[in-house]
Amino acid sequence: MRIRLVQVNSVVGDVSGNLERIMAHVSEAERDQVNIVVFPEMALAGYPPEDLLFRPSFLRDLAAAQETLAQRARTTLVIAGYAYAEGQGIRNAAAVMAQGRTLARVAKQHLPNYGVFDEARYFTPGSGTTIFRWGQWTLGVSICEDVWYPDGPYLRQARQGANLLINISASPFSRGKSAVRQQMLSTRADDAAAYLVWTNLVGAQDELVFDGTSAVFGPDGQVLARAKAFQEDVLTVELTRTPSQHRRWIDPRWRLVPLEEDTVDVVDVPLESVGEGAAARARVEPLPDTIPSLYEALCLGLKDYVQKNRFGDVVIGLSGGIDSALTATIAVDALGADRVHGVFMPSAITSDASYQDAKALSDNLGIDWRVIPISAIMTAFLQELSPSFGQRPVDLTEENLQARIRGTLLMGLSNKLGWLVLTTGNKSEMATGYSTLYGDMAGGFAVLKDVLKTEVFRLARYVNEVAGYPRIPQNVLTKPPSAELRPDQKDEDSLPPYAMLDQILQGYIEDDLTPEELIRQGLDAEAVNLTVRLVNRNEYKRRQAPVGIKVTPRAFGRDRRMPITGRF
């Protein structure tokens, strides 16, 4: 059996474009005499399509595209994800096609409705068991979440004789998830004593990044093939039926456990029978380590957001600090230096060292660099506000005015020149509200929104390790972080040290631990209580922040949803 996995970068709502790309791959598969070609979940629609699914015209376009694809599928069995309306509901389905027609539509049975997923809002779950008979092979098809359940549809298909299980997926990336997911899939293949073919989406959609790494697992759970991470890829592997059959002969679970009562639909594949052939070794691409995968996810997330939304260039306010330096570096690696613009906006408080660091970074990256001083603007603001401010002492108001002037200047460049403003705030700042609403939060896309400050430093060091020289100037990595909105200001004047702060944030935000539980872990009580208080009272700011890339298991926005008004 020669099977091909195609991890495509679909665009949500671009049904005709997605269809065109898929049909090109089908033509190549038939030319190469591939028996089965598999595309990811929602490959025709893009994922997640959200409320587009409630538009009848969108569903009509999907139905027409799927029919066109079915007519194109001739000598190769084609499996691709899409959505269709049936009765009173909408199904998330895999279309199984050959000989110019649709052989079956297999609907997703387990609908995720947690974290970033809202599938119960849109879909009606499928039921029953469908298997496909093709000579000596029996196939089972399932969709994403269906394989995460130990007793999911894949296992029922295996008990009905399926020795080749195909799961199409749109599984988004988060820190550490790739290894966990691969281990889960290995276990499912071993439990089913069957080949497991898993084809995952790749690319980014708004805040979500899909990392690909489509893979084939043997009946013993071993990885036989794996596609690349964070890029489109085509993976072809040849399988032999014997290992799956042999494991079931010797495993008493397959001989002594009775079949469950189930409705089974058996579909014959009307193609020439596939012989045994010989199992061929395929490439097994490595899974990236934590920091490299975070960096690749951020680059892909930015690249796809800019290109899929048809933006041209991006602009970044460069402060000489590490957050703006890392954001600019990611932008260059994602888009190219010619599409990235850096703006340094000094005030009377800004140090010469910050200028030198920002200029050195711009030179290293080869980006457009310009300086727009804000001192005169600040003076004009204070003059106009002085009758209202009266004799009140200088405080946070004047600090925030500087940030808001900078935000206004960047948005002016954006409006006039069509550049997308990238904000530079990280997750530690977003969590604690250590940012200025309508100031440094002003912009269209937040690259580091889900990256803790300690991870920002690790990513910056990784950038320099890969480059082999201090691409991000060494002084940027070593000087104490500062907003430079008042003389001699340091972040840790207002916040706990970042190493401690990020540990508290990870426990409180990602693990839902209480302050008492965090303190029992040995964390400083005063720091814990301050951090929790800051997180809780700044939800209103986060609601007004631009969309950003999700890279952790619990990101702000669609993932972590908390009330603004509340007293818990």
Q: Is 449 a residue of the active site?
A: no
Q: Is 145 a residue of the active site?
A: no
Contacts of 75 (CB under 8 A, 6+ apart): 30, 33, 98, 271
d(CA 523, CA 503): 9
d(CA 362, CA 315): 12
Cis peptide before 56 (omega within 30 of 0): no
Rg (CA), the chain: 27
The count of other CB atoms within 10 Å of the CB of residue 420 is: 22
The count of other CB atoms within 10 Å of the CB of residue 246 is: 12
> Are the C-beta atoms of 448 and 305 separated by less than 8 Å?
no
* Start-to-end Cα distance in the chain: 57
C-alpha neighbours within 13 Å on the C-beta side of residue 178: 28
Cα dihedral across residues 505, 510, 511, 512: positive or negative: positive
| 133 burial via Cβ count (<10 Å: 0-12, 13-18, 19+) | middle
Contacts of 520 (CB under 8 A, 6+ apart): none
d(CA 367, CA 331): 10
Contacts of 424 (CB under 8 A, 6+ apart): 316, 317, 319, 321, 323, 324, 327, 440, 447, 448
d(CA 327, CA 342): 10
d(CA 191, CA 253): 10
Q: Which of 119, 144, 303, 550 is catalytic?
A: 144
Q: Which of 20, 28, 108, 260 is catalytic?
A: 108
Q: CA-based angle 331:332:338, to the nearest 5? A: 115
Cα 145 from chain centroid? 16
Tokens 């007293």 found at? 567
Cα 264 from chain centroid? 36
The count of other CB atoms within 10 Å of the CB of residue 241 is: 21
Q: Is 41 a residue of the active site?
A: yes
The count of other CB atoms within 10 Å of the CB of residue 31 is: 10
> Are the C-beta atoms of 128 and 232 separated by less than 8 Å?
no
Catalytic positions, written as ranges: 41, 108, 144
